[in-house]
Amino acid sequence: MAVDANRLWERLREQPADQALAIADLFALGCLLRLQGHYKAGNTAVETALKLVRGSGNASYCDALYAALPGNEALFAHQVNAHLEINHLVRAQAEQNADLPSAECEG
């Protein structure tokens, strides 16, 4: 995979700690919503999180990360180091989705 969310986490670490964690949580919750099939709400959350770090040379990276999101929600959510409770929910949803026949996973 050419793009991942590790660079996003590096950009977030430049922010005040509480702000960085809030953005990471918003991004990961957007990924969770997408995994649950709530694509519009999930996209809104992810786009909002990316908008907050888009400045100073990050625009093309943020665009590439957003484009690579489908199918990588669980990985990207884990890579931004959101709260453990959110990561557990994302992981559980990804595992549940993996157990579904592929036709049920399509949205």
Examine residue 99 and state whether it is found in any structural domain, yes or no: yes
With CA atoms as reference, report the closest residue to 83 among 43, 27, 37. Answer: 27
Within a domain: 31: yes
Domain that holds residue 91: 6-105
* Amino acid letter for position 5: A
Instruction: Answer whether 31's CB lies under 8 Å from 88's CB.
Output: no
Number of domains in the chain: 1
106: pLDDT confidence band, cut at 50, 70 and 90? Answer: very low
Tens of pLDDT, residues 76-104: 999 999 999 999 999 999 999 998 886 55
Whether residue 1 lies inside any domain: the answer is no
